[in-house]
Amino acid sequence: MRRLVLPVYVITLRDLKKFFRQRSRLIGMIARPLTWLLIIGTGLNQIIKGSLGVTYIQFILPGILGMTILFSAIFSSISIVWDREFGFMKEILVTPVSRISIAFGKMVSGTLISTVQGLIIMVAAPFIGIRFTIAEVFSLIVFIMVVSMCISAIGVFIASLIKSFESFNIIMNFIVMPMFFLSGAMYPISILPRVMRYFMYLNPLTYGIDSFKHIMFAGLTSFRSDISMLNDIVLMISFTIVSIVLAAVAFNRQHNE
């Protein structure tokens, strides 16, 4: 047991230390969502009125939270590619630690880092008129962690498939950005044409963001979500389990010749 847990702890500790040491990354990760919220949210708030049941700036907060988690978790997991490129992964691979523990270490650190960042963004909530009860804060933390775990696992899976950092732009443009735009972050799912809706239903982030909407707008009877909370929970957990398994298998395969 110690053999499996200790490496997860060590790898997580390393990533957290590095994360809090890299000020620029920390600042960037907080600045990006705030920019979206303030500039896009405030701007469109004036144009979009009516059918949402909440103001537009309120509407996109769950989406911005999802975006923060998405970028943070993918970035954290993709550090596997950096480690490989700079040789550090080799140092870990020759230790007696199992490949699976290394993959889990990366997923856990991605989860924690994304959760911290997501919670930082939540500080903005009271300023745009969203207030939480203690129970809501608690459930939000749980859901943020589940979504973070799922995206981190997807990140580890992707990092195990790509060979070098040159593929990073492709990942950003063809996986990360579409995942964000097709998640119901910016507009309700129901307003989109059927074909695009199918893509959204295949996107785990859709259920994550929808669950955030349920929690954040719990007190607002005027707001109606696209998916039921039960479906969100079931699908989010299923996606997470599948992603973790895929990530562990892919990582193990890539590093066992």
Partner 1 sequence: MNAIEVRDLFKSYNSLTAVDGISFEVGYGELFGFLGPNGAGKTTTINILCTLLKPTSGEAYVAGSEVSREPDRIRKRIGLVFQETTLDNELTTFENLLFHAYLYGLERNTAVRRIDELLSIVGLRNKRRELVKHLSGGMKRRLEVIRGLLHGPGVLFLDEPTTGLDPQTRAGVWGFIKDMRKREGTTIFVTTHYMDEASDFDRIAIIDHGKIIAIGNPHKLINEMSKTTVTFVTGDDDTARQLLSYGMSRVDGGKYQIRIEEPGDFMKRMLNLSGLKIDEFAINQPELEDLYISLTGTEIRDERIEHPVRKRGHGS
| Residues near 161 by beta carbon (within 8 Å), at least 6 away in sequence | 250, 254
Residue tagged 């009271």 (tokens): 126
- In the set 40, 53, 88, 165, which binds partner 1 (CB under 8 A)? 88
From 59-67, 79-87, 139-147, 233-241, span contacting partner 1 (CB under 8 A) = 79-87
* Closer Cβ to partner 1, 17 or 224, answer by number: 17
Question: CB of residue 70 vs partner 1: minimum separation in angstroms?
Answer: 24
Nearest to residue 152, comparing CAs of 117, 188, 185, 122? 117
Helix spans in the chain (H): 2-21, 23-35, 42-47, 56-85, 88-93, 99-122, 134-161, 168-171, 177-181, 194-201, 204-216, 229-254
Binders of partner 1: how many residues, by CB under 8 A? 30
Question: CB of residue 156 vs partner 1: minimum separation in angstroms?
Answer: 15
**Residue 124 carries which DSSP code?**
T
What residue type is assigned to position 129 of the chain? G
**7 near partner 1 (CB under 8 A):** yes
Which tokens belong to 236? 């989010």
Question: CB of residue 168 vs partner 1: minimum separation in angstroms?
Answer: 16
CB-side neighbour CA atoms (13 Å) of 155: 32
Question: Taking CB under 8 A as the criterion, which residues in 8-27 touch partner 1?
Answer: 9-10, 13-14, 17-18, 21-22
**166 near partner 1 (CB under 8 A):** no
Question: CB of residue 124 vs partner 1: minimum separation in angstroms?
Answer: 29
Question: CB of residue 237 vs partner 1: minimum separation in angstroms?
Answer: 28
- In the set 4, 5, 43, 86, which binds partner 1 (CB under 8 A)? 86
Taking phi over 0 as left and psi of -120 to 50 as alpha, with beta for the rest, 50 belongs to left
Question: CB of residue 31 vs partner 1: minimum separation in angstroms?
Answer: 21
Which tokens belong to 30? 């907080």
Binding-site ranges for partner 1 (CB under 8 A): 2-3, 6-7, 9-10, 13-14, 17-18, 21-22, 84, 86-88, 90-98, 163, 253-254, 256-257
